[in-house]
Amino acid sequence: MPGFEYFGDIERKEVQDVLDTGVLMRYGFDGMRNGHWKAKSLEDELQNVLNVKHAQLVANGTAAVTTALAISGVGAGDEVIIPCFTFVASFEAIMMLGAIPVLVDIDDTLTVDPEAVKAAITPKTKAVMPVHMCGSMANLEVLKSICDDNNLLLIEDACQAIGATYKGKYLGTYGDVGCFSFDFVKTITCGEGGAVVTNNSKYAINADYFSDHGHDHIGNDRGAESHPVLGYNFRISELNAAVGLAQVKRLKEFISIQKKYYTVIREALASIPEVVFRKVPEGGEESYAFLSFYLPNLEVARKVNAAFKASGIDVCFHYYDNNWHYIREWKHLKNIKTLYPVSPQVKEGLKYLETKQFEKSDHYIGRNISCLIKLSWTEMQVKERAKLMVKIIKENI
């Protein structure tokens, strides 16, 4: 995955342009900036690369998810259905707006189970937010039809899957709004950055307002601009955008390297009958940011994971025992450990977490190992790695 592995002259040049003018802010200062609009240019580039009408850059992926929800009208007391295998940003963003995260099971795609989504819909449900974890996707066609039938928004968190496609569309552009992160470990990086994409021009204008204190950005006197709505400061800086502008041009190259290395490891692991690969919905093509597979049971997965670590097979994750991405260890959410009072609605809305079991997800996450595909490996290293992984798995099955 990580674009940070490829930081070079192109990135340096874009950053130098900004340093030469000294205009670190994305708006205004037209006279001083010598024609450089890095954030604006990166938005244009994202629109072209992802084939989507509107892209709004923001400060990070968490801000992107918050913005996506806010601009489509999700707020106090609304329920948003998300998978229980995700990143903490999903529920952070929802709760930031006073809405209620409703966590449901995943299936063998490692993304939200459409049947679990259906079962969780209530009169308060406003949106479904699948999270395209580890470079692959949820079954968007089924989710879209559930959303259409129930008049719900479909918001895609594609932070971990830029460049993957579903039925000919880039992830993030299939639903009503999509989100990306360009943090340091994502496929392309700005250092810190994020983007919201949509084909809905009303949401696009809302995103422009919301991410910059509600400014309407009309005219060239910032102090005279009016505020059609309340917003926040979720702006990206020109320095961060400059890095992303260099990186986005290399997205196709990054994906093709990932695909090559992923394929070498996958073909090696496929020789072991007990290894089953993560399901990719029909019509989907992964970004190859990760290779994810299932082992026969939790015990084997734990043993293989430990043996990988001991043998220097790094960047493989067994999320079952990990605090990062799975509900099991999120005690701070289950106990609502906030620094400030939360609304009675949210408190009441999260009560289900005291008792809810995620057996189906435990079944998949318990057996899953996801391995990051790094761009900086050599072909020789990938082959050796694949051979060693096969040996370790065979020894522990």
Ligand X SMILES: *Cc1c(COP(=O)(O)O)cnc(C)c1O
**61 binds ligand X, rule: CB under 6 A:** yes
Alpha-carbon 271 to chain mean position: 31
- Environment class of residue 153 by beta-carbon count within 10 Å: exposed (0-12), middle (13-18) or buried (19+)? buried
Nearer to ligand X, 157 or 208 (CB): 157
Q: Least distance in Å: CB of 151 to ligand X? A: 25
Nearer to ligand X, 65 or 300 (CB): 65
Determine the Cα–Cα distance for residues 375 and 289; give it in Å rounded to an integer.
Answer: 9
Q: Least distance in Å: CB of 287 to ligand X? A: 12
**87 binds ligand X, rule: CB under 6 A:** yes
Nearer to ligand X, 89 or 242 (CB): 89
**160 binds ligand X, rule: CB under 6 A:** yes
Q: Are strands 125-128 and 153-157 parallel, antiparallel or unpaired?
A: parallel
**62 binds ligand X, rule: CB under 6 A:** yes
Question: Are 120 and 81 spatial neighbours (Cβ–Cβ below 8 Å)?
Answer: yes
Nearer to ligand X, 135 or 225 (CB): 135
**66 binds ligand X, rule: CB under 6 A:** no
Nearer to ligand X, 89 or 350 (CB): 89
Q: Least distance in Å: CB of 391 to ligand X? A: 31
**101 binds ligand X, rule: CB under 6 A:** no
Helix (H, G, I), strand (E, B) or coil at 101: strand
Query: Which residues, 6 or more positions from 293, have their beta carbon under 8 angstroms from its beta carbon?
Result: 269, 275, 276, 277, 278, 368, 369
**131 binds ligand X, rule: CB under 6 A:** yes
Determine the Cα–Cα distance for residues 169 and 167; give it in Å rounded to an integer.
Answer: 6
Q: Least distance in Å: CB of 84 to ligand X? A: 13
Q: Are strands 100-104 and 79-83 parallel, antiparallel or unpaired?
A: parallel
Compute the radius of gyration of the chain from its Cα atoms.
21
Provide the 10 A C-beta neighbour count for residue 101: 22
Q: Which residue is nearest to ligand X (CB)?
A: 61
Nearer to ligand X, 89 or 95 (CB): 89
Residue of the chain from 156, 157, 208, 225 that contacts ligand X (CB under 6 A) = 157
Determine the Cα–Cα distance for residues 196 and 116; give it in Å rounded to an integer.
Answer: 26
Nearer to ligand X, 86 or 305 (CB): 86
Query: The tokens of 283 are what?
Result: 């019509």
Query: The tokens of 308 are what?
Result: 């990988």
Question: Are 18 and 242 spatial neighbours (Cβ–Cβ below 8 Å)?
Answer: yes
Residue of the chain from 114, 194, 244, 366 that contacts ligand X (CB under 6 A) = 194
Number of residues lying near ligand X (CB under 6 A): 14
**163 binds ligand X, rule: CB under 6 A:** no
Active site residues: 186
| Selected range binding ligand X among 83-91, 98-106, 215-223, 278-286, rule: CB under 6 A | 83-91
Q: Where are the beta strands (DSSP E) in the chain?
A: 54-58, 79-83, 100-104, 125-128, 153-157, 165-166, 169-170, 177-181, 194-198, 276-277, 284-285, 290-294, 316-317, 368-372
| Selected range binding ligand X among 152-160, 224-232, 247-255, 260-268, rule: CB under 6 A | 152-160
- Block residue for tokens 């994409």: 197
Residue of the chain from 56, 60, 187, 247 that contacts ligand X (CB under 6 A) = 60
Residue of the chain from 159, 162, 242, 275 that contacts ligand X (CB under 6 A) = 159
What residues form DSSP beta bridges with 80?
Answer: 101, 127
**129 binds ligand X, rule: CB under 6 A:** no
Site residues (vs ligand X, CB under 6 A): 60-62, 65, 86-87, 89, 131, 157, 159-160, 181, 183, 194
